């Protein structure tokens, strides 16, 4: 008789055992997903709901801790899913069951739709950063001339970028003046046009919070609008995206244009819950204005309106965002919180960026916005191999 411990953090542990015992790989993957351990915190419960929940959850084999108006549930995904059925629980627990169901992981999306293209997510998608600004925090002024920007984009593509994210307005801390739309268009449009002409197979994203920059950028050949304000600054971006059939990245941030990269609005009682709720609100606005769900990706906004410890918590608890069911973009590249952890200056943070991306991949992120594509691609290749996916020999 042999007993072997398995790491519950590894998605492949139970799956590989079942396959070794003769299970079909697809069936094994489904069964293993049900064995995945889940932990859910629910607040706002009244005393009657808690009193009914304790014995009911216990009969399902779910462990719990409770206090006044809150409960912490722990168990396999399949057991928690059995509790998340409003039609099978006592009426006093129906609202709790609905809330629990919204917090459980759904099947991860297989692709991100962007202007008729399906960016498949069975492997990491690398989004190369192309700042055409004079003042970005780590590479400002390096790619202001269109020919320099296009040359750098070519290097990013050769390193493995499937998306190039072109930004014409810096969001660095300490800015005192927003960039006018006409100046942002002057910086961005020639680069987008030339990238679309030279690299027709590459997805082009425009990093803007203005609909009157997004529209001409899409007309020039862009496929995605990456809005760091999550439609708070200019909800009409959603109308532009819907009309073009483009992709949309909704990033979490707070405050006005000059505050979003500062700590001015970095006060949270529960960072994970609040970021999740605020991204849900952005998602609802986009959907209501006609953007299909399969076109929308979400970004927790590392470095935006968050202190270092809040960024680390969000990265570790990325399930709060991935459980919303959309593709998840992360952009930790060279951010200040990584410098706090390592002591490194911005131009020496690419290694820790790659490590952060690998940890976020393990937690469900699939799209990675970075400056150093090659280093991050290597780290993600290893993270993917840990999940059982080796590149072809």
The enclosing domain of 278 has a CATH number of 3.20.20.20
> Using 50, 70 and 90 to split pLDDT, how confident is the model at 140?
very low
The predicted pLDDT at position 382 comes to: 95
Residues 92 and 189 in one domain: no
Residues 57 and 119 in one domain: no
Report how many domains make up the chain. Answer: 2
Predicted confidence (pLDDT) at residue 390 exceeds the cutoff of 90: no
Residues 82 and 229 in one domain: no
Predicted confidence (pLDDT) at residue 1 exceeds the cutoff of 50: yes
Residues 199 and 341 in one domain: yes
Cα 171–chain centre separation = 19
* CATH number of the domain to which 91 belongs: 3.30.70
Residues 99 and 123 in one domain: no
Predicted confidence (pLDDT) at residue 34 exceeds the cutoff of 60: yes
The predicted pLDDT at position 144 comes to: 63
Residues 94 and 115 in one domain: no
Does pTM top 0.75 for this prediction? yes
Phi, psi torsion values for 31, nearest 5 degrees: -65, -40
The predicted pLDDT at position 177 comes to: 79
Give the integer Cα–Cα distance in Å for 193 and 367. 23
Position 240 in a domain? yes
The predicted pLDDT at position 142 comes to: 55
Query: Active-site positions?
Result: 335, 369
DSSP string, 167-199: E-S---TT--SPPPHHHHHHHHHHHHHHHHHH-
| pLDDT tens digits for range 219-268 | 999 999 999 999 999 999 999 999 999 999 999 999 998 899 899 999 99
Domain end marker among 86, 103, 120: 103
Predicted confidence (pLDDT) at residue 203 exceeds the cutoff of 50: yes
| pLDDT tens digits for range 177-193 | 788 999 999 999 999 99
* DSSP percent split of the chain into helix, strand, coil, nearest 5: 45, 15, 40
Q: Decide: 232 and 282 in contact? Cβ < 8 Å.
A: yes
Give the integer Cα–Cα distance in Å for 299 and 317. 13
Position 16 in a domain? no
Position 183 in a domain? yes
The predicted pLDDT at position 175 comes to: 63
Least confident stretch, 105-109, 269-273, 343-347, 369-373: 105-109
Position 29 in a domain? no
Position 6 in a domain? no
C-alpha closest to that of 311 among 356, 349, 280: 356
Predicted confidence (pLDDT) at residue 166 exceeds the cutoff of 70: yes
Residues 347 and 304 in one domain: yes
Domain end marker among 77, 103, 129: 103
Residues 97 and 119 in one domain: no
Residues 331 and 251 in one domain: yes
Predicted confidence (pLDDT) at residue 141 exceeds the cutoff of 60: no
Least confident stretch, 278-292, 321-335, 353-367, 379-393: 379-393
Position 11 in a domain? no
Position 392 in a domain? no
Domain end marker among 58, 79, 103: 103
Instruction: Count the Cβ atoms, other than its own, within 10 Å of residue 158.
Output: 10
Give the integer Cα–Cα distance in Å for 255 and 263. 10
Least confident stretch, 24-38, 54-68, 240-254, 325-339: 24-38
Phi, psi torsion values for 272, nearest 5 degrees: -65, -50
Residues 175 and 87 in one domain: no
C-alpha closest to that of 307 among 359, 355, 266, 357: 266
The whole domain housing 381 covers 111-386
Position 161 in a domain? yes
Residues 57 and 121 in one domain: no
Predicted confidence (pLDDT) at residue 334 exceeds the cutoff of 70: yes
Residues 80 and 220 in one domain: no
Handedness of CA 124, 125, 131, 135 (dihedral sign): negative
Summary mean pLDDT of the chain: 92
């Amino acid at each position: 008789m042999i007993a072997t411990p398995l790491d519950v953090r590894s998605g492949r542990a139970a799956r590989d055992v079942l396959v070794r015992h003769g299970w079909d790989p697809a069936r094994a993957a489904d069964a293993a997903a049900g064995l995945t351990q889940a932990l859910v915190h629910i607040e706002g419960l009244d005393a009657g709901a808690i009193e009914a929940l304790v014995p009911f959850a216990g009969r399902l084999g779910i462990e719990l801790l409770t206090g006044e108006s809150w409960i912490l549930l722990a168990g396999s995904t399949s057991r928690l899913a059995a509790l998340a059925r409003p039609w099978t629980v006592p009426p006093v627990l129906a609202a709790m069951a609905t809330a629990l169901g919204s917090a459980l992981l759904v099947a991860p999306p297989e692709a991100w739709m962007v202007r008729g293209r399906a960016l498949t997510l069975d492997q990491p998608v690398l989004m190369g950063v192309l700042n055409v600004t004079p003042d970005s925090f780590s590479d400002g002024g390096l790619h202001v001339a269109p020919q320099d920007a296009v040359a750098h984009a070519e290097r990013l593509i050769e390193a493995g970028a499937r998306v190039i994210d072109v930004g014409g307005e810096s969001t660095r801390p300490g800015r005192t003046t927003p960039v006018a739309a006409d100046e942002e268009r002057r910086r961005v449009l020639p680069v987008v046009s030339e990238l679309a002409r030279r690299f027709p197979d590459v997805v082009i994203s425009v990093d803007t919070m203005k609909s009157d920059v997004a529209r001409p950028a899409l007309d020039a050949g862009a496929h995605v609008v990456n809005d760091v304000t999550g439609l708070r600054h200019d909800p009409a971006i959603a109308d532009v995206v819907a009309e073009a059939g483009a992709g949309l990245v909704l990033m979490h941030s707070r405050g006005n244009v000059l505050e979003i990269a500062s700590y001015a609005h970095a006060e949270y009682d529960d960072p994970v819950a609040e970021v999740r709720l605020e991204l849900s609100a952005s998602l609802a606005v986009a959907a209501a204005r006609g953007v299909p769900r399969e076109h929308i990706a979400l970004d927790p906004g590392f470095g935006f309106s968050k202190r270092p410890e809040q960024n680390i918590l969000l990265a570790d608890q990325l399930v709060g965002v991935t459980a919303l069911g959309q593709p998840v973009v992360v952009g930790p590249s060279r951010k200040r919180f990584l410098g706090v952890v390592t002591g490194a200056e911005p131009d020496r943070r690419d290694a820790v960026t790659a490590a952060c991306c690998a940890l976020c991949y393990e937690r469900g992120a699939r799209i990675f916005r970075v400056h150093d594509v090659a280093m991050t691609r290597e780290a993600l290749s290893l993270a993917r191999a840990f999940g059982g996916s080796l590149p072809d020999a």
